[in-house]
Amino acid sequence: MIHVTKVKVKNKMGLHTRPATAIVKLLQSAKCDVFFTHKQETVNAKSILSLLMLAAKRNSSITITTQGVDAEKTMNSLVSAFENHFGENV
């Protein structure tokens, strides 16, 4: 089953190295495909370089697509991570 959700980048510096690293770590054990789409570009969210290439600034909208065995669980974890600013101080 495919899950698609839109999230907003809330971090002051946007989707920079620290949140990108947090995303990749979170997805290490995921048993599904995860893609982020920002503007017209879609990338594999398990690749830190791909995430950084999105150059998503604060308040950017990102569409997350998960597909596979644990797609729903992975989506929930990602949405929660975005909501919590990836543990960064606000």
Q: Measuring CA to CA, which residue among 27, 78, 71, 32 is closest to residue 48?
A: 27
Which member of 3, 16, 38, 85 is catalytic?
A: 16
In terms of C-beta density within 10 A (0-12 exposed, 13-18 middle, 19 or more buried), how is residue 90 classed? exposed
Concerning whether 16 is annotated as a catalytic residue, the answer is yes
d(CA 60, CA 2): 23
Rg of the chain over Cα atoms, rounded to whole angstroms, equals: 12
- Please tell me the total number of residues recorded for the chain in this structure: 90
Supply the residues annotated as catalytic.
Answer: 16
